[in-house]
Structures are given as structure tokens and as C-alpha cells.
Amino acid sequence: MIPFFSEKSKLFRNWLSAAGAILATAAFFAFLLLFAIDVFARQSNPYVGILGYIVAPAFFFGGTAMLFIGFRIQRKHEASGSGKPHLLVMDLSRSRDRRILQFFVAGGVAFLLITAIGVTQTYHYTESTHFCGETCHEPMTPEYTAYLTSPHARVGCVDCHIGSGAEYYVKAKINGVHQLISTALNNYQRPIPTPVKNLRPAQDTCEQCHWPEKLSGNLERTYHRFLADEKNTPFTVRMLLMVGASDVHPTMANGIHWHINLTNKVEYYAPDPKRQTIPWVRVTHSDGTTTIYRAPDYKDEPPANEVRRMDCLDCHNRPAHRFRAPNESVDMALQSGRLDRDLPWVKSNVVAALIAPYNTREEAMQRIGDSLRGTYKDSPKVESIVAVAQQIYGESFFPEMKANWKAYPDNKGHKEWPGCFRCHDGQHKTTDGKRAIGGSECNSCHMILAQGSTKEELSKLSAEGHTFYHIDAEYTDLSCNQCHTGAFVAE
Ligand code: HEC
Ligand code: HEC
Ligand code: HEC
Ligand code: HEC
Ligand code: HEC
Ligand code: HEC
């Protein structure tokens, strides 16, 4: 290092070094600001990390390098004997120099201010949902699109994906850098794998807003379905989901939310990365005793570090990014009247157009249009059918990212995916083989209040619950999802 007042320090007095010094100072200032945001912000995100610990230091070192390059150039000048170096001389007795100095100081202050504003703005931008969802345009499009029509469309990405606190923040930061690199190199996985391995326990995310002690009670839901036949025959099931009564003490919660009752602890082991098969389940009761249930062919002990405690995410795993199955989307369009039920085979034809293999979105839109225009060319409604089909495709199919309902299981029910039946299939038994996991009868989770295709059938309400009537087809010894694929029913 050259002492500042030494003879040599004057070699720093050149334009390149001066610019380098300003850049380095501004970068250092930006770093301090980002560091403060990082430490004090209520919630932060990985991109502050990228800015603060990568971008700002890069500019700092760049500026420092310029400082020394300027120095070396000057020294070369001096050594080569080509006369005196072009020193930046400042003589405060000269009014021109005083003006330059004033200008320089004012410019420097303005530069620092602009840096501060820039950093703050960038910070707010990177924290925004817009940034998470749209900046990495292609990879995030599916999740962002689904999110915008989810119940959580106003909840920030960071509230579920990062939450607050140091440990996950650091993890997210490292992950953010990794994501940025794989986006830049275009080598991210398609579809993006799930579940997200470092997603935090629901306690730190969902439960910041949803209070587990506040129970939901029973919820009535009506499922409007339409068969894939010529008449698009409606088939409706109206049922009461026993989520958990809200008038009991939290520790006595029963029903579907029994699993998150504070005194129950359910743990499980899933060998497959998507957690779709669960051969081992352990319940720890309030008195500390445990019960273990195993699937018939599973005799082993699970690896201890892969046992997961069940939380909200094991059922509500698609709270913000649900890609609707084509069967469901088309049913919704028929139910709301956007698709006309009187058009013969419309359910079946629209589903078929949606699920044909396409490589790009443009190709899909084109061919969906061609196929439906061919089929319904004589109908005055042909353009509206095409528009509805294309809209459904746009909302829930992302061929470039290979993302659609098939890529992302939804664990909340049991019709298209194993869901609850991963454990409640009546086959998971205690070691002595005497008892299966309780709550596995059709009526343990819900009661069918009414069902059928006609007004008359649907007005026969039952307070005890009807036995499910299943379109004459047998289903009892098979899991629903072996036939119900979300598109056509396999027979
Ligand atoms: C209500 C909570 C919540 C919000 C808000 C949320 N996510 Fe997610 N996200 C999740 C959960 C839970 C998963 C894991 C899904 C699973 O395990 O099946 C996930 C998964 C993902 C995945 C992995 C791929 C996939 O579909 O499973 C991406 C990418 C993603 N989210 C991006 C985003 C972006 C971008 C935003 C903001 C626009 C966002 N998320 C907002 C809860 C949320
Ligand atoms: C920042 C607050 C916030 C966070 C975090 C949050 N939620 Fe929500 N959630 C809400 C609000 C608000 C609603 C109600 C939306 C409405 O009724 O339109 C809601 C609705 C829901 C619903 C009912 C959805 C429906 O179909 O009507 C479920 C289930 C749910 N959240 C689960 C979750 C899960 C699981 C997580 C964690 C991955 C989570 N939430 C994280 C605020 C939040
Ligand atoms: C065993 C599976 C399971 C677990 C675990 C679970 N839920 Fe639920 N939850 C359900 C089902 C099924 C419903 C019925 C409503 C539905 O279909 O969305 C429901 C309903 C809800 C509702 C009411 C939705 C509405 O429309 O009013 C909220 C909110 C909710 N859950 C939040 C949570 C939160 C928060 C957690 C974690 C603390 C959690 N759930 C854990 C299965 C589960
Ligand atoms: C990881 C395994 C697992 C999954 C997945 C699972 N459960 Fe359970 N569930 C259990 C266990 C274990 C019990 C306790 C049974 C017992 O003690 O006999 C239970 C109990 C229940 C009960 C009875 C509660 C009571 O009041 O006694 C209901 C209802 C229930 N579950 C509904 C659901 C629903 C709905 C889903 C899917 C959204 C689901 N479960 C998913 C393991 C699971
Ligand atoms: C462990 C709890 C549980 C058991 C046992 C169970 N269900 Fe369900 N079922 C659910 C849940 C939760 C949903 C709601 C899924 C949703 O809203 O996404 C559901 C949805 C349904 C639906 C509506 C499906 C649709 O999308 O049109 C039908 C019909 C149904 N169940 C029938 C049955 C029959 C028949 C049985 C017995 C063989 C049964 N369930 C056993 C939890 C259960
Ligand atoms: C052996 C195959 C098979 C099994 C197993 C099966 N289904 Fe079905 N299901 C069918 C067929 C076939 C239809 C008629 C489909 C059509 O015409 O569109 C149907 C229709 C339905 C419908 C009305 C139409 C629709 O697309 O939603 C519901 C609801 C339904 N099944 C629920 C269930 C439930 C819940 C289970 C599990 C308890 C189940 N099914 C198991 C074959 C099966």
C-alpha cells in the first residue's frame, strides 16, 4: 500500500482512479444499505442477498481495480520518461478549480443519493411478487399463472416460500443464487420438481396467517360433474366435509383436521420423491405412547432422517399453484354456462382437444382451434367453444415447462390422486395386523347429502348421508385414481 501523503500517492490523481474511487465508494455505500435492509427488514428475500453480497462487492472490486489501473498507467508514464504524468492538479486558489471541486462534491452527493434510491427501489422490486413470478419469465410462468387465480393471489411468494428468520433466509439466499445461475444457463428442470425440499414447516408460513386452533367446522361442497357421453349428462354430489367442529376445545379437534390437533403427532415415511406412496405411519398420542401402521408389503424400519411430521402441506400442497385437471376445468365451464351443455359430446371433445400432445403453446392454440372448428363447424357457437378451450389451456397447460395437472399431484382428496388414500386405504395396519388406520370409511371424512343427475334426485337430502351411487360402475375394490385420471376415465 502506498501511504497517502507519499510522493507516489499523487499517481492516484488521474481520471480513471478518481472514477474508480467514486464507484467503489458508491458500491460500499450500497452494500451497507443492503446489509442494513438484510438485517432489519421484517421479511427479506434471496435477491437482496444477490445484490448485497454479489453485485455490490463486484462493483466495489471493479472500482478498486480501476483505482489501481489508473495508478499503474501513471507510473508507466513516469517510468518511460515521457515527461511528467498527467496529474489531476487542484489548486483551490484558482476559482476554476474551486468550481470543479464544488461540482465534484455536488455530483458525488447526488451519485450516492441516486445509489441509495436505486438500491431501495431494487429491493422493493425484488421483494415483489411481480419479480418472483415474471422476471424468470419462462420457468415461473406456470406457478405464477396458477397463483394469480388462487385464493392466495394477494399473498406474497415470500410469505410461503421464505417466511422470516435467519436460517431459512440463508438457505433461500443460497438457493436464489443457484436459481439465478440455472436460469441464466437455461438448465433448470422441466417441470420444476416438487415438493420444494427446503420449504419450511407450515408452522412458520401458513400458520402465521391460519391459526390451527381456529377450526373450520363442517364445510358443504357441491361437486358438479358431467359425463363424457353424448348428452354431457350432469352428475352432482353435494357433500358435507367434516373438517373439524369449531365449537370444541382445540385439543379435542376431530374430523379431517384431527391431524393438526395440537395433541396429535402424525409422522410418515414416503420413499418416492413426490411422496405418493406412504408405507409407514406413526402416531404419537397425547400420553406419549405410539402406534405404528404399515402397508402390507412393508416390513422395514424407515431411515430416521426421512421421517416427516405431517402438517398442512401434506394435504393442502397446492394452495397457490393448482393446475386444474381438464376434466374439472371443462366441468366448471359447463356448470357456469360458458360451454353449452346442449352441444353433443362437447365435454368429451373439449377434453380430447386439451390433452392431445403439443410441443408449444402456439401449436396447441392453433390445433385446438382447428380440431374444434372441424367438429362444430355447423354450430353458431363454434367460436365460443374454441375460445373457452383455449382459455382453459392457457390457464393450466404449459408445454414449454412440461407443467400441467399430471406433473403436480394434489393431495387433498382421493379421486385423481391417491391423496388421503395413501394412508386411509384400509390396508395400513398395526404390527399385530388387528387394526387399520381409523377414519377410512366413506363416511368418516364426508357425508353425501344429495347426489344424482336430476332436480328430483338432488332434492332428496339425507341427514345421515347417502351411500355413494356411482354411475352403475363398480369401484369398491379399486382406488378411484386407478380409473379417474383427471382427463378420461380409464376402464
Ligand atoms: C400460499 C402459499 C404459497 C404462495 C403465496 C406461493 N407459493 Fe409457490 N408453492 C407453495 C407450496 C406449498 C409449494 C409446494 C407444492 C407441492 O409440494 O406440491 C409451492 C411450489 C412452488 C414451485 C415449485 C413447482 C411447483 O409447482 O410445485 C414454484 C416454482 C413456486 N412455488 C413459485 C412461486 C411463485 C413464483 C410465487 C409467487 C408468484 C409463489 N410460489 C407463491 C406455496 C406457495
Ligand atoms: C399471508 C397470509 C397467508 C398465508 C401465509 C397463507 N394463507 Fe391461506 N389464506 C389466506 C387468506 C386471506 C385466505 C382467504 C382467501 C379467500 O377467502 O379469498 C386463505 C385461504 C386458504 C384456504 C382456503 C382456500 C379455499 O379454497 O377457499 C386454505 C386451504 C389455505 N388458505 C391454506 C394455506 C396453506 C396450506 C398455507 C401455507 C402453505 C397458507 N394458506 C398460507 C392467507 C394466508
Ligand atoms: C389431513 C389433511 C389436512 C391437513 C393436515 C390440513 N388440512 Fe385443512 N382441510 C383439509 C380438507 C380436506 C379441507 C376441506 C375443504 C377443502 O376441500 O378445501 C380443509 C379445509 C381447510 C380450510 C377451510 C377452507 C375453506 O374453504 O374454508 C382451511 C383454512 C384449512 N383447511 C387450513 C389448514 C391449515 C392452516 C392446516 C395446517 C395447520 C391444515 N388445513 C391442515 C385437509 C387438511
Ligand atoms: C400420512 C398418513 C395420512 C394421510 C395422508 C391422511 N391421514 Fe387421516 N389419519 C391418519 C392417521 C394415522 C389417523 C389416526 C387414525 C387412528 O388413530 O386410528 C387419521 C385419522 C383421520 C380421521 C379420523 C379423525 C378422528 O376424529 O378420529 C379423519 C377424518 C381423517 N384422518 C381424514 C383424512 C383426510 C380427509 C385426508 C386427506 C385429505 C387424510 N386423512 C390423510 C393418517 C393420515
Ligand atoms: C380419509 C378421508 C376420506 C375417505 C375415507 C373418503 N373420502 Fe371421499 N373425499 C375426501 C375428501 C377430502 C374429498 C374432497 C376433495 C376436494 O374437495 O378436493 C373427497 C371427495 C369425494 C367425492 C367428490 C369427488 C369429485 O371430485 O367429484 C366423492 C364422490 C367421494 N369423495 C366419494 C367417496 C367414497 C365413495 C368413499 C368410500 C369408498 C370416500 N369418498 C372415502 C375424503 C375422503
Ligand atoms: C373401475 C373404474 C372406476 C373406479 C375404480 C372409480 N370410478 Fe368413478 N367413474 C368410472 C366411470 C367409467 C365413470 C363414468 C365416466 C363418464 O362417463 O364420464 C365414473 C364416473 C364418476 C363420477 C362422475 C363423473 C366424473 O367424471 O366425475 C364421479 C364423481 C366418480 N366416478 C367418483 C368416483 C370415486 C369417488 C371413486 C372412488 C371411490 C371412483 N369414482 C372409482 C369409473 C371408475
β-bridge mates for residue 108, sequence order:
none
Could you tell me if the CB of 351 is within 6 A of ligand 6? no
Could you tell me if the CB of 477 is within 6 A of ligand 6? no
Dist. CA 123 → ligand 3 center (Å): 34
- Res 109: pLDDT: 80
Distance between CA atoms of residues 328 and 486, nearest Å: 7
Q: Which ligand is nearest to the CA of 279?
A: 4
pLDDT tops 60 at residue 253: no
Dist. CA 441 → ligand 5 center (Å): 10
- Closest atom of ligand 5 to 480 CA is 38
- Closest atom of ligand 2 to 313 CA is 35
Max mean pLDDT range (199-208, 237-246, 358-367): 358-367
- Res 49: pLDDT: 67
pLDDT 10s digits, 275-308: 999 999 999 988 899 999 999 999 999 999 999 9
Could you tell me if the CB of 225 is within 6 A of ligand 5? yes
Mutate to test the pocket of ligand 2, among 143, 152, 161 (most ligand atoms within 8 A of CB): 152
Predicted structure pTM score: 0.86
Mean per-residue pLDDT for 449-456?
95
Percentage of residues of the chain with pLDDT beyond 90: 49
First to last CA, the chain: 81
Instruction: Look over the chain and give the mean of its residue pLDDT values, rounded to a whole number.
Output: 85
User: In this structure, which residue's CA is closest to atom 40 in ligand 4?
Assistant: 420
User: In this structure, which residue's CA is closest to atom 5 in ligand 1?
Assistant: 157
- Closest atom of ligand 5 to 225 CA is 27
pLDDT tops 50 at residue 392: yes
Starting at the edge strand found earlier in the chain, the sheet holding 307-309 runs 307-309, 265-269, 280-284, 290-294, 429-430
pLDDT tops 90 at residue 448: yes
Distance between CA atoms of residues 472 and 319, nearest Å: 34
Could you tell me if the CB of 387 is within 6 A of ligand 6? no
Dist. CA 18 → ligand 3 center (Å): 61
Percentage of residues of the chain with pLDDT beyond 70: 85
pLDDT 10s digits, 360-374: 999 999 999 999 999
Residue 3: which pLDDT band, with cuts at 50, 70 and 90? very low
In angstroms, what CA-CA distances link 349 with 82, 327, 356, 371, 381?
A: 85, 11, 11, 9, 14
Dist. CA 472 → ligand 6 center (Å): 9
Could you tell me if the CB of 151 is within 6 A of ligand 2? yes
Dist. CA 258 → ligand 2 center (Å): 19
Mutate to test the pocket of ligand 4, among 420, 430, 479 (most ligand atoms within 8 A of CB): 420
Positive or negative torsion for Cα 302, 307, 313, 315: positive
pLDDT 10s digits, 142-172: 998 999 999 999 888 888 887 766 566 667 6
Distance between CA atoms of residues 119 and 29, nearest Å: 10
Residue 84: which pLDDT band, with cuts at 50, 70 and 90? low
pLDDT tops 90 at residue 85: no
CA atoms within 13 A on the CB side of 150: 22
List the single range of 10-14, 268-272, 408-412 with lowest mean pLDDT.
10-14
Dist. CA 231 → ligand 5 center (Å): 25
Could you tell me if the CB of 480 is within 6 A of ligand 6? yes
Residue 47: which pLDDT band, with cuts at 50, 70 and 90? low
Could you tell me if the CB of 314 is within 6 A of ligand 3? yes
Q: Which ligand is nearest to the CA of 420?
A: 4
pLDDT 10s digits, 106-134: 887 887 787 777 777 776 666 666 666 66
The 10 Å Cβ neighbour count of residue 378 is 6
Distance between CA atoms of residues 254 and 271, nearest Å: 28
Q: Measured in whole angstroms, how far is the alpha carbon of residue 446 from the centre of its chain?
A: 29
Positive or negative torsion for Cα 209, 215, 219, 225: positive
- Res 247: pLDDT: 47
**Residue recorded with cell 470543479:** 100
Dist. CA 227 → ligand 6 center (Å): 9
Distance between CA atoms of residues 220 and 223, nearest Å: 10
Could you tell me if the CB of 444 is within 6 A of ligand 3? no
Dist. CA 450 → ligand 4 center (Å): 24
Could you tell me if the CB of 121 is within 6 A of ligand 6? no
Dist. CA 26 → ligand 1 center (Å): 36
Residue 264: which H helix or E strand, with range? none
Dist. CA 144 → ligand 2 center (Å): 16
How big is the chain by its Cα radius of gyration, in Å? 32
Could you tell me if the CB of 229 is within 6 A of ligand 6? yes
User: In this structure, which residue's CA is closest to atom 24 in ligand 3?
Assistant: 216
pLDDT tops 50 at residue 356: yes
- Res 1: pLDDT: 43
Name the grid cell of 407: 406433473
